[in-house]
Amino acid sequence: MNKELRQLYEQDQADRLDTQNLTRAQIGGIVQRDRERRERVEELIAHEALQAPEDYFHEAMVFQHGETLEHYWQAHELAKKGVELGHPTCRWLAAAAYDRWLMRQGKPQKYGTQYILKDEQWALYELDPATTDAQRAEWNVPPLAQVLQRVEEMNHK
């Protein structure tokens, strides 16, 4: 496993531990650090620094917190590669990146991994009703009833 990729991933996650009451300046700082992390990950990819399935997971998560459709698609592709290599969490991350890619285009998400704030309440972003719980399970996404329960719990914290 590439230690620098793991460190970049850990920094990415640390920036997201408590995002409830951030100021604009703090959010701007996170966005800037996200950009710097993505740039470094791109350099590591170019130098073929991938050593293990975990590397694909770490890279995909950094790109999942990107700003463009290309970032989300790259997260999806990296996570799919991690799935091929046997990383267990990459399956869910591939679905989440795909959902975010769809959402940022204004399309319904497929699996139900993306939430939005609407009138100061969390809501599940628009979902393709044709997706089944069996399809969600293939990508380690909980059944729709659990996803909706999570929304309720998020709003009662």
Surface-to-core class of residue 78, CB atoms within 10 Å of its CB (0-12 exposed, 13-18 middle, 19+ buried): buried
Given this model, what pLDDT does residue 41 score? 94
Given this model, what pLDDT does residue 19 score? 64
Given this model, what pLDDT does residue 26 score? 79
Given this model, what pLDDT does residue 133 score? 98
Q: Which residue positions in the chain have pLDDT lower than 70?
A: 18-22, 157
In terms of residue numbers, what domain contains 101?
A: 3-155
Q: Are 90 and 82 in contact (CB under 8 A)?
A: yes
H-helix or E-strand containing 22? none
Query: E strands within 56-143?
Result: 115-118, 121-124
CA 105 to CA 23: how far, in whole Å? Answer: 27
CA 16 to CA 33: how far, in whole Å? Answer: 12
Given this model, what pLDDT does residue 13 score? 93
Given this model, what pLDDT does residue 96 score? 98
User: What's the domain count of the chain?
Assistant: 1
Q: Are 111 and 98 in contact (CB under 8 A)?
A: yes
Given this model, what pLDDT does residue 78 score? 96
**Integer angstrom CA distances of residue 144 from 16, 113, 116, 135:** 25, 10, 16, 11
Q: Are 69 and 101 in contact (CB under 8 A)?
A: yes
> Which residues face 117 on adjacent strands?
122
